[in-house]
């Protein structure tokens, strides 16, 4: 009787059976002056101490930029011109989000686990701050997703995670050129039958370096001298061009 009970417990908590061992091609992205996006290779293995369980293994990789509150505005025609009318604030919209899966999303992840772990793009966005006059807040969230997807800052990469022999997995995720600084949270989920059996979290640090770092820091810490420097460069460039042209003429 007790043995049977233990067996059922193991079935109900299969989390202990499989675990992620992860590697990243880089855990830092340096933004230099010539930064033109970056490709991150995420690879890993599934560690098990028991035979391979039943069901298809699913692997999901997500990378999420620093979340920030945004306002989504909708234009409406008033007095013959199109102006911003309704606005909805969305609290935790990351500046970048990519989700890569080993099979179509609805096959690897059930709705319940998707909502719980906030994996797919719609489930990771919380819509809040909609005024009472706005009844269709969901269309604002949809618009946010649409605009970001078109801009390449939100990516859904279905079937892009390669799984070898139910053990090794790897995927490539491209970070766009227009990247903001911050900690990019990276998550790996292993799923069986649409349920998350194991997850792993790590972070990719995106930082400006060199000249970029220096200018950015100066503009925040010494804005007055940064402004003076900008003006000085402008005036010298203006004078230089004028002097060069008059030399050319003579």
Partner 1 sequence: MQIYLPIAEVSVNAFLLLGLGGMVGILSGMFGVGGGFLMTPLLFFIGIPPAVAVATEANQIVASSFSGVLAHLRRKTVDLKMGVVLLIGGLIGAALGVLIFNYLKSLGQVDLLVRLCYVVFLGVIGGLMFIESLNAIRKTAKGTAIPKRKKHGLIHKLPFKMRFRVSGLYISVIPPLLVGLVVGILAAIMGVGGGFIMVPAMIYLLGMPTKVVVGTSLFQIIFVTAFTTMLHATTNYTVDVVLAVLLLVGGVIGAQIGTRIGVRMKAEQLRILLAIMVLAVCGKLAFDLLVMPSELFSIGAVEGH
Chain contacts with partner 1 (rule: CB under 8 A): 31-37, 68-77, 80-84, 89, 140, 143-144, 146-148, 177-181, 208, 211-213, 215-216, 219-220, 223-224, 226-231, 233-235, 237-243, 245-246
Which CB, 162 or 241, lies closer to partner 1?
241
Q: In what order do the strands lie in the sheet with 168-175?
A: 18-24, 38-48, 168-175, 162-164
Which CB, 52 or 70, lies closer to partner 1?
70
How far apart (Å, rounded) are the C-alpha atoms in residues 245 and 138? Answer: 58
How far apart (Å, rounded) are the C-alpha atoms in residues 206 and 37? Answer: 11
Closest approach of partner 1 to the CB of residue 90, in Å: 9
Closest approach of partner 1 to the CB of residue 133, in Å: 14
- For residue 60, which of 153, 163, 209, 142 has the smallest C-alpha distance? 163
Q: Specify which residues 29 forms β-bridges with.
A: 206
Interhelix angle 223-249/210-221, rounded to 10 degrees, is: 120
Which CB, 3 or 77, lies closer to partner 1?
77
Closest approach of partner 1 to the CB of residue 75, in Å: 5
How far apart (Å, rounded) are the C-alpha atoms in residues 118 and 91? Answer: 14
- For residue 97, which of 54, 66, 131, 52 has the smallest C-alpha distance? 66
Which CB, 23 or 227, lies closer to partner 1?
227
How far apart (Å, rounded) are the C-alpha atoms in residues 195 and 190? Answer: 8
Which CB, 68 or 159, lies closer to partner 1?
68
Residue 15, C-beta contacts closer than 8 angstroms, at least 6 positions apart: 197, 198
Which CB, 114 or 153, lies closer to partner 1?
153
């Amino acid at each position: 009787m007790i043995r049977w009970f233990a067996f059922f417990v193991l079935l109900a908590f299969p989390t202990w059976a499989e675990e992620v061992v992860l590697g990243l091609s880089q855990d830092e992205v340096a933004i230099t002056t010539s930064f033109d996006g970056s490709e991150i290779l995420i690879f890993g293995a599934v560690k098990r101490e028991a035979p391979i369980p039943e069901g298809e293994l699913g692997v999901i990789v997500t990378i999420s930029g620093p979340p920030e509150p945004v306002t989504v505005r909708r234009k409406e025609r008033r007095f013959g011109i199109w102006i911003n009318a309704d606005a909805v604030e969305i609290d935790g919209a990351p500046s970048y989000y990519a989700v890569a899966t080993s099979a179509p999303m609805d096959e690897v992840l059930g709705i319940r686990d998707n909502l719980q772990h906030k994996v797919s793009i719609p489930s990771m966005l919380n819509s809040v701050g909609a005024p009472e006059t706005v009844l269709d807040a969901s269309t604002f969230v949809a618009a946010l997703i649409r605009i970001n997807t078109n801009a390449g800052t939100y990516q859904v990469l279905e079937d892009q995670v390669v799984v070898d022999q139910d053990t090794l997995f790897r995927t490539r995720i491209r970070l766009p050129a227009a990247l903001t600084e911050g900690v990019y949270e990276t998550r790996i989920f292993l799923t069986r039958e649409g349920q998350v059996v194991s997850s792993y979290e790590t972070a990719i640090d995106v930082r400006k370096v060199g000249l970029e770092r220096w200018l950015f820091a100066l503009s925040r810490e010494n804005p007055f001298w940064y402004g003076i420097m900008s003006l000085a460069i402008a005036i010298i460039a203006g004078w230089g061009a004028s002097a060069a042209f008059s030399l050319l003429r003579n």
